[in-house]
Structure 1
Amino acid sequence: MSIQNKQKLLAAQSFEEVLEAVQPMITSILSQLRIYKDFDDYRHIASIAVWQAWQKTDPSKGQFSAYIYATVKGEILKELSREKNYTVRVTIVDDDILNYIYEEQNEGDNQKHVIMLESLLSSLKQVERSILLLYYIEGYSHREIAEELGLSINAVTKRRARIVKKLQKQVFIIE
């Protein structure tokens, strides 16, 4: 069977068949890029990339398998870059500052901290306040917050970290 016929056959397959056929390639790419944690997340990103390649396939423009390989590897590299940039930009902060403010508010003996807390919370968007209140006051997990607000768990985790960092900067400016 010629290469062109194989390409046409591959392009004519259903998405599920193509995805199943490229699983070894995806595993190879993940191994080559030394991805050992969040493996399922990156496999999901690869599956989406296969879907995108399958949707855009044009057998007259070259090898379909090469296009899938380039698309999958490119999307995984983009995500790795995003993760690296996020890690460089955002420092995960202890919850000490928010716990401190919350404890001071509950004690009620220092009006300054209550005013500061109200000021800090008023500077946040509604969804940011909701995330903080659900997490710190209601004791919701990231998964429960994600379900409540219609967000992904990853989005809730990242947003909470950004909000804490934002509040930390504001607290140091105020004091």
Structure 2
Amino acid sequence: MDEFETLKEQFDPMIRSIMKKLNIYQNKHEFYQTGLIALWEAYQNFDPKKGQFATFAYSYIRGRMLRDMDRQIRNEERNVHPKEEFWEMIQDDDADPLLQANEFLLSLCRDSHLTRQQQKWVEYTCIHMLTVREIAEIEGVSVSAVKRWRSEAKQKLKGTLLAIKD
């Protein structure tokens, strides 16, 4: 049996205990896998000079599960998943309202004279529903750069929308 298998058996009760303390009752298998991945990463990053492994592993696993719970909650808040009956009731009046909304958004970006980076922020945020951090990772820039794109884009879009309103 290799080292990690032994570690997995040893820390399995800890992972399950953390899940119980965090009241994880949905997607248990997924969170258990998250716990195993966190255990592996803790094993890789552990520095024996800084304390005991069990304490380090506990905080590492718990932190990873909390982060994943937070990410899952944000995703659920952003995305609505209606039941099947809802889709049966919808009539197809327009060819594709989402496509029309995206076209309107992109035309608004052009009318507002947004830079390419500002347009990327609008597309990533409004169409792909990504966070500032996720956009920064994709574009290979800092989070503050994406925040600057956002701020400037919002100002320009606000000016264009106010002009349209008048």
Aligned equivalent of 1:74, options 63, 88, 97: 63
Q: CA separation in 2, counterparts of 1:40 and 1:48?
A: 12
Q: With the length of structure 1 as denominator, give the TM-score of the two structures.
A: 0.50
The answer to whether 1:96 aligns with 2:80 is no
- Structure 1 residues 118, 53: closer, same or farther in 2, change over 3 A? same
Aligned equivalent of 1:64, options 31, 50, 53: 53
Q: CA separation in 2, counterparts of 1:75 and 1:118?
A: 38
Identity over the aligned pairs, expressed in percent? 28
Please name the residue that 1:45 is paired with.
Answer: 34
The structural deviation recorded for 1:118 is 9.3
How does 1:111-130 map onto structure 2 within 5 Å? Answer: 113=94, 116-117=95-96, 120=99
Q: What residue identity is the alignment partner of 1:77? A: L
Aligned equivalent of 2:44, options 55, 74, 79: 55
Q: With the length of structure 2 as denominator, give the TM-score of the two structures.
A: 0.52
Q: What residue identity is the alignment partner of 1:81? A: D
Q: CA separation in 2, counterparts of 1:82 and 1:27?
A: 20
* Unmatched runs of 5 consecutive residues or more in structure 2: 104-128, 130-166
CA-atom RMSD, angstroms? 2.8
Please name the residue that 2:163 is paired with.
Answer: none
* Unmatched runs of 5 consecutive residues or more in structure 1: 1-12, 105-112, 125-161, 163-175
- Structure 1 residues 68, 90: closer, same or farther in 2, change over 3 A? same
Provide the aligned length of Structure 1 versus Structure 2. 101
Please name the residue that 1:29 is paired with.
Answer: 18
